[in-house]
């Protein structure tokens, strides 16, 4: 690992009561005990951790926003927010920092209301039901995110993710397009950012799995390079390329097209290409395919 990796540990509502609260479910450890365990293990792995607990959704959202550029990963136990906070899900989707969702209890073995996580689709993964070890396993997972790290005891744990450095590189293209309201830098960058975010959210793309992004603009858009929007999102180490689309008569005006090359285990049929606003007309067939997944 190059440099010291920094992770944010986020505990959501009521986790300040660990050790007192429903001990038969959450165990006897206090939050301080849990943070001490995480810090000890992180130290062994050469990782710095910052631990925070909050009972407030807004505070958790602010901490997630602040993680961009500061942390390489988030270990997040959203508590009861897991089951309904779209605001927290959106916050995680808005940053490029990978997050692992953790739970002390096995949320799938409990009441029906806990069996759904709105956070999981935007998380790198989820670990549920292993008590404090849920956090430690998340720590190992994030430690191995971009290195050849193996957890203590040696290899063979299967922590090696099929990532950019894996021999099982599997690159696929995700297409998208959107039209800008006018040939104005602000409009071009806002439209590009909206398109990239939607592609990332719909396909659960993590920044480190993006091999490259190719943009093209119709000739009537020249007030800004769309790549600037990607740089502003923190995609500083992703190769980006901008070009001019051929000026076909009658083509959709002010159109920004994107081809995102992503390392993914998704099958071609699972990929969600994204056509927004006026550009939706370019691929009306996608809507029809989504309505009829059998493909007939």
Residue 148 CA to residue 68 CA, distance in Å, equals 24
Evaluate whether 161 touches 144 at the Cβ level (below 8 Å).
yes
16 binds ligand DQA (CB under 6 A): no
Of 104, 137, 217, 258, which one interacts with ligand DQA (CB under 6 A)? 104
- Cross-strand bridge partners of residue 172: 262
Structure tokens at 155: 């290899």
Q: Is 140 a catalytic residue?
A: no
Residue 103 CA to residue 120 CA, distance in Å, equals 11
* Closest CB 45 distance from ligand DQA, rounded Å: 22
Kind of pairing between the strands at 255-263 and 210-217: antiparallel
Q: Is 71 a catalytic residue?
A: no
Burial level of 204, CB count in 10 A (0-12/13-18/19+)? middle
14 binds ligand DQA (CB under 6 A): yes
114 binds ligand DQA (CB under 6 A): yes
Query: Is the CB of 51 or the CB of 274 nearer to ligand DQA?
Result: 51
103 binds ligand DQA (CB under 6 A): yes
Evaluate whether 11 touches 60 at the Cβ level (below 8 Å).
no
123 binds ligand DQA (CB under 6 A): no
Query: Is the CB of 29 or the CB of 223 nearer to ligand DQA?
Result: 29
Of 16, 30, 55, 105, which one interacts with ligand DQA (CB under 6 A)? 105
Question: What is the distance between the terminal CA atoms of the chain, rounded to a whole angstrom?
Answer: 48
* Closest CB 98 distance from ligand DQA, rounded Å: 19
* Closest CB 144 distance from ligand DQA, rounded Å: 23
Interface with ligand DQA by CB under 6 A: which residues? Answer: 14, 77, 79-80, 82, 103-105, 107, 114
Q: Active-site residues: which are they?
A: 26, 103
């Amino acid at each position: 690992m190059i440099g010291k990796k920094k992770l944010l540990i986020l505990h959501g509502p009521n986790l300040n009561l660990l050790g007192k609260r429903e001990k038969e479910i959450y165990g006897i450890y206090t939050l301080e005990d849990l943070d001490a365990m995480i810090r000890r293990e992180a130290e062994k792995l050469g990782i710095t951790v910052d631990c925070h607990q909050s009972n407030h959704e807004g505070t958790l959202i602010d901490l997630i926003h602040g993680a961009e550029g500061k942390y390489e990963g988030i270990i997040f136990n959203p508590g009861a927010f897991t089951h309904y906070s779209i605001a927290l899900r959106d916050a995680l989707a808005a940053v490029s920092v990978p997050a692992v969702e953790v739970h002390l209890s096995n949320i799938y073995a409990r009441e029906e209301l806990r069996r759904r996580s709105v956070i999981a689709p935007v998380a790198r993964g989820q670990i549920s039901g292993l008590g404090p070890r849920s956090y430690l396993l998340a720590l190992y997972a994030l430690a191995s995110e971009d290195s050849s790290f193996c957890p203590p005891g040696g290899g063979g744990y299967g922590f090696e993710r099929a990532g950019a450095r894996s021999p099982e590189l599997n690159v696929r293209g995700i297409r998208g397009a959107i039209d800008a309201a006018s040939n104005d830098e602000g409009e071009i960058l806002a439209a590009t950012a909206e398109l990239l975010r939607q592609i990332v959210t719909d396909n659960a793309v993590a920044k480190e799995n993006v091999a490259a992004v190719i943009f093209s603009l119709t000739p009537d858009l020249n007030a800004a390079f769309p790549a600037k929007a990607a740089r502003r999102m923190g995609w500083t180490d992703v190769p980006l390329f901008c070009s001019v689309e051929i000026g076909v008569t009658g083509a959709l005006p002010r159109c920004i097209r994107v081809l995102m090359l992503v390392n993914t285990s998704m099958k071609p049929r699972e990929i969600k290409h994204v056509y927004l606003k006026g550009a939706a007309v370019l691929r009306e067939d996608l809507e029809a395919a989504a309505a009829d997944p059998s493909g007939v």
